[in-house]
C-alpha cells in the first residue's frame, strides 16, 4: 500500500518562530489533507490540498503532486499551535479512506 512519511517527527519551537513540516508519499494521490491533533485529541481539518497552494491565516500548505510531497508552513508560531500534525492521503477519487502518516509532534514554548 501507499507509504506516507512525515518529517521531522518532533519539533520544538520558540514562540514567534516559523516552521516547515514535510509529507512525502510513495504513489500518485487523489486527495491530501493536513490535520492538527490538539492536546485534547481532536483532529482538526487544516487543509484539503491535493495540489497547489492554500493559505489560512498563519498557516499555508503546498502540494507538488508530480513530485509526491506536501509542505505545511506555520509562521509566527503560538503556544496554541502545539500538538501533532498529520498528513493523510487517498489513492483514489471519491469516498475512499485516508492513509495517515505518523505525524509531526510540535511543541511551541513561550
Partner 1 sequence: DAGVIQSPRHEVTEMGQEVTLRCKPISGHNSLFWYRQTMMRGLELLIYFNNNVPIDDSGMPEDRFSAKMPNASFSTLKIQPSEPRDSAVYFCASSFGNEKYFGPGTRLTVT
By CB under 8 A, residue 14 contacts partner 1 = no
Q: Pick between residue 14 and residue 93 the one whose CB is nearest to partner 1.
A: 93
Please report where in the chains the cell 509562521 appears, as a residue: 75
For partner 1, the closer of residues 34 and 77 by Cβ is: 34
**Exposed, middle or buried, 61 (CB in 10 Å: 0-12/13-18/19+)?**
buried
Stretch that binds partner 1, among 11-19, 59-67, 70-78, 98-106 (CB under 8 A): 98-106
Name the residues that contact partner 1, by CB under 8 A. Answer: 30-31, 33, 35, 41-43, 45, 48, 50, 86, 88, 90, 93-100, 102-103
Amino acid at each position: 500500500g501507499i507509504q506516507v512519511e512525515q518529517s521531522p517527527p518532533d519539533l520544538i519551537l520558540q514562540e514567534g518562530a516559523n516552521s516547515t513540516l514535510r509529507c512525502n508519499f510513495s504513489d500518485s494521490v487523489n486527495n491530501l489533507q493536513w490535520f492538527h491533533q490538539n492536546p485534547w485529541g481532536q483532529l482538526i481539518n487544516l487543509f484539503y490540498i491535493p495540489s497547489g497552494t492554500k493559505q489560512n491565516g498563519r498557516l499555508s500548505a503546498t502540494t507538488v503532486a508530480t513530485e509526491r510531497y506536501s509542505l505545511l508552513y506555520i509562521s509566527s508560531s503560538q503556544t496554541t499551535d502545539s500538538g501533532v500534525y498529520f498528513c493523510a492521503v487517498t489513492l483514489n477519487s471519491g469516498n475512499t479512506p485516508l492513509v495517515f502518516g505518523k505525524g509531526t509532534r510540535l511543541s511551541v514554548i513561550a
